[in-house]
Every structure is written in C-alpha cells, then in structure tokens.
Amino acid sequence: METPGLKSNVTMDEITALAKRRGFIFQSSEIYGGIGGFYDYGPLGAILKRNVKDAWWRENVELRDDVVGFDSSIIMHPLTWKASGHIDQFHDQMIDCKVCKHRFRSDHLKDATQCPDCGSKNSFTEPRNFNLMLKTFVGPMEDTASEAYLRPETAQGIFVNFKNVFQSARKKPPFGIAQIGKSFRNEITPGNFTYRLREFEQAELEYFVPDDGKDMDAFREWVDRRKKWYSDYGVKSDRLRFYELTQAERPHYAKAGIDVEYLFPWGWGELESIAHRGTYDLDAHMELSKKDLRFFDEASKTHYTPLLIESSAGMDRTTLTMLIDAFEREISVDPNGKQTERIVLRFHPKIAPVQVAVFSLARNKPELVERARAIESGLRPSYRTQYDEGNIGQLYRRQDEIGTPICLTVDYETLDDRAVTVRERDTMRQERIEIDRLDTYLRDRLRG
Ligand code: ATP
C-alpha cells in the first residue's frame, strides 16, 4: 500500500549493487548462477547482521532478569510439526500464468484476473496448495519413516522444551524464553533481495504470563519495548508502523496481533509479528505428546497453562532494513560550483560494522604507517576498527559508503603534536584530538 508523500530514497537495485560492491551481501553460489532465495553475508554484512542479532539479544535477554536464552535444534521430531499445525496447514496457494509460465502466490496478486508480469487476462491455473516446509531424511534410508523437516520457525523448539526450561531455570510466569536461529521455508516466490528467503534467521521471544487479567498489559508492554528498540537503533519513525490486526486477520486463537512493518522501496513489508497466542501452542503439544507441560504453582498448589505473548522478528529483514534506512545520498557543491555526490550509510554506531577507521595519509612513509597501525591496533580491543591508507578523499568516500561513524588520520603533524585529525561522518566536522585523549573521545561517541 502506498503512503502519499513518503518514498524510499533508494532503489533495491542501488542497495543490491552497494551490498555487493562493499561486501555486505552476495548471491549464494553465484559462480554457478545462484540459487533462488539464498544469500551469503560478506565480511561487512556478517558483522552487521551479528551486531543486529547482538542488539536484539542484549535488550531481550541479557538486560532482563525475566527472560532466559535458548538454542534448539533445527531438525526436530516430525510430530512437532503435526502438533503445531505446520504439516496440515502451513500452505501457501500457488498459481501459474499459462502464458508466461511465471509463478505467484495467489494472496500476493493485486488482480486475480490479470498476470502482473505479461499482462495476459484470465491466464491463471487453479490455485494449488503448497506446503512450505523443506524436507530431508534422517539416517541412511530415504523412506517415509526417515522423513524430517527443517524447521520453518524456531518457536516450536521453545514450546516442546517449556517444562525443561522453567524447571531448570527455576522461573515462574511471567517469564520468557528467547532464541535466535535459522529457519527454512520453501517460499513459492522468494524475492526482494534478502526480504523473502528460503533460509533465514528469526529472533523469537516467547513470554509466558499467568491468566490473571493482566495479559493484555504484558502484550502492550512488549509492543512498546519493541518500538523503543527500533527507535534506539535509529530506524526512522515515519518508515515504521505497528499495524494492529483485526479479528478477521488474526488466527482464531489469537487475542491480539501487531505486525511491525517497514516502508521498503517497493512498499510496506512485515519485519516482525507480535501476537497474543493464548494457550494454543502448549495445548497442542500436550494433546499430541500426552505430556503435562502445565506450570505448577507452589503457592496455590495448582497446575495451569500460561498464556503466551510472542514476538518473532526476522534478522535478515531487520539487517536489510538497517541497510536501507541508513542509506543517504548527499549532493554538495564546492566553491568552484562543482557538484559531488556522496553515499553515506548512517548506521547507528552500535551496529556499524566499522566504528573507527584509522588512516595513514601516505602509503610510502613508514613513520606515518607505523604510527597509524599502532593506533589502530591499540583501539582494536575496544572498538571495531579498520586500517587503510592512501588518497584521503577516496578513503573518506569508502568509509562513508560502509557507514563508519569516525575516521582518524595520521599525518605529518602527528609526528610533532601527537594528535590526529578526527572526522565525524554525520557532521563532517574535523578536529585535532591528542592520541592520549582518543579513547575518552571515542567512548563518548560510540558506546553511548
Ligand atoms: P510473510 O507474510 O512475509 O510471509 P509471515 O507472516 O509468514 O511473513 P511469520 O511466520 O510471522 O512471517 O514470521 C516472523 C518473522 O520471520 C517475519 O516477520 C519475518 O521477519 C521473518 N520471516 C518470515 N518468513 C521469512 C522469509 N521467507 N524470509 C525472511 N524472513 C522471513
């Protein structure tokens, strides 16, 4: 859906090209022509994605005494997926255009009578159900009894372990279990770069609360926390919305649901879903496994099934969002009237892959190179740093394009005044800072 007056300032082609040029994201197995729905993270992308995951983990696990971390296996007993409903219901409807042979998800078509690619009228096949789970075999036999699934979400690993976790962690509701891990969906139409993948990572928080009338408060608190998280990491508020699902849009068992959406270059797209799922998930596993997963409350000596508030965020989509949201193109005019363009990624300093770049002004002056390298290695244990040398204009341009907030240059004066030129990405202000004061200066700006 279009939002009047609000447009992304970058195209997906520009993002894809920048991601490849600077080593954020590459097409998987590119030398063999690629494979649809799979991507690899390059040197900078791997750090960016790790920083996004760490930021999520820090906020939702490390800083909370009511949430514990978890890490479950990707392949689980196939009955897990029977109980969760994925075997019977995790379908999308697939439809083909008989003229151009392109395939679509029927719920993604704006007009069910006309092919969006070739324009043919009434050329679609009947919709067919298509299960999105990827299958594999466990053990040496490739028969039905050995069939297993690559998990399409991480949450079920938490539900089947619910009792193990609350007993071993000695927790009682309200408390949460969080994990970040790979999920797999055989999407009919992967696309929009890393937005819709067949292999991706999810960060899921399952927060269990007692049925004491305060469950909707807990739901709203989690929505507020997630809002704050996006805002803390600088995602532009006019490009983010929290869409409240109507009863008809929610699954029948869900009491409330919010989709967190970002305004991507092609329109609004889901980043995360936050849902009040009641007792649906634990009930389903108790029914099929015949195991009691209820919580035993010592105080009242009663068993009860806690209600569940779930937040499920895609880490690849969030990383892509950070990349798009940070993108800015600036045109400046020098005193001679010459226009220059710079592309800047304004990453939040906490997630920027490189926080401090250290340059030697000249490549062939050993005293400058040695000094710059010594400064860089001294800062390395505390900050994400990178050493580079050469033409200063090119060095700044390269660091702007990868979103480095601070650049330090060692020049001839450094040898006399023991100071470096510090340039900030956002203000482009330059100042001399003594080497002994660097750590304090950087801590103020980067650790925040
Ligand atoms: P969509 O409607 O876009 O297919 P969904 O509603 O099926 O998404 P959920 O099952 O709610 O997604 O999964 C939670 C989150 O996992 C999503 O908000 C998204 O960030 C991420 N996610 C889901 N499917 C994919 C995918 N194919 N590629 C990348 N991330 C995904």
169-193 tens-digit pLDDT: 999 999 999 999 999 999 999 999 9
Pocket test residue of 39, 200, 315 for ligand 1, highest count of atoms within 8 A of CB: 200
Q: How far is the CA of 391 from the centre of ligand 1 (A)?
A: 44
Q: How far is the CA of 172 from the centre of ligand 1 (A)?
A: 30
Pocket test residue of 276, 312, 316, 320 for ligand 1, highest count of atoms within 8 A of CB: 312
The residue to which tokens 């976790």 are assigned: 165
Which comes out higher in pLDDT, residue 90 or 19? 19
Binned at pLDDT 50, 70 and 90, residue 448 comes out as: low
Protein residue whose Cα sits closest to atom 16 of ligand 1 = 314
Q: How far is the CA of 358 from the centre of ligand 1 (A)?
A: 39
Closest atom of ligand 1 to 204 CA is 14
Query: Span 409-424, mean pLDDT?
Result: 96
Protein residue whose Cα sits closest to atom 21 of ligand 1 = 314
Average per-residue pLDDT for the chain: 95
Q: How far is the CA of 314 from the centre of ligand 1 (A)?
A: 6
Cβ contact 307:215 at 8 Å: yes
Residues ≥6 apart with Cβ < 8 Å to 280? 251, 253, 254, 308
Give me the pLDDT at residue 6, please.
59
Protein residue whose Cα sits closest to atom 20 of ligand 1 = 314
Q: How far is the CA of 71 from the centre of ligand 1 (A)?
A: 19
Residues ≥6 apart with Cβ < 8 Å to 207? 67, 174, 175, 176, 218, 222, 308, 309, 310, 311
Closest atom of ligand 1 to 190 CA is 27
The predicted-structure confidence for 109-153, as pLDDT tens digits, reads as follows 889 899 999 999 999 999 888 889 999 999 999 999 999 999 999
Closest atom of ligand 1 to 269 CA is 3
Q: At residue 17, does pLDDT exceed 80?
A: yes
Rounded alpha-carbon distances, angstroms, from residue 75 to 80, 154, 356, 435: 10, 10, 40, 52
Q: How far is the CA of 204 from the centre of ligand 1 (A)?
A: 12
- What is the percent of the chain where pLDDT is above 70? 98
What residues are in contact with ligand 1 under a 6 Å CB criterion?
A: 153, 185, 187, 196-197, 200, 202, 270-273, 312-314, 316-317
Protein residue whose Cα sits closest to atom 1 of ligand 1 = 270
| Contacts of the segment 9-14: beta carbons below 8 A, 24+ positions apart | 9/327, 9/328, 9/329, 10/265, 10/324, 10/327, 10/329, 11/265, 12/192, 12/193, 12/264, 12/265, 12/266, 14/327
Q: At residue 2, does pLDDT exceed 50?
A: no
Q: How far is the CA of 152 from the centre of ligand 1 (A)?
A: 10
Cβ contact 176:68 at 8 Å: yes
Q: How far is the CA of 197 from the centre of ligand 1 (A)?
A: 9
Q: At residue 3, does pLDDT exceed 70?
A: no
Binned at pLDDT 50, 70 and 90, residue 348 comes out as: very high
Q: How far is the CA of 205 from the centre of ligand 1 (A)?
A: 15
Give me the pLDDT at residue 209, please.
98
Give me the pLDDT at residue 341, please.
85
Query: Span 425-438, mean pLDDT?
Result: 95
Report the distance separating Cα 350 and Cα 328, nearest Å: 18
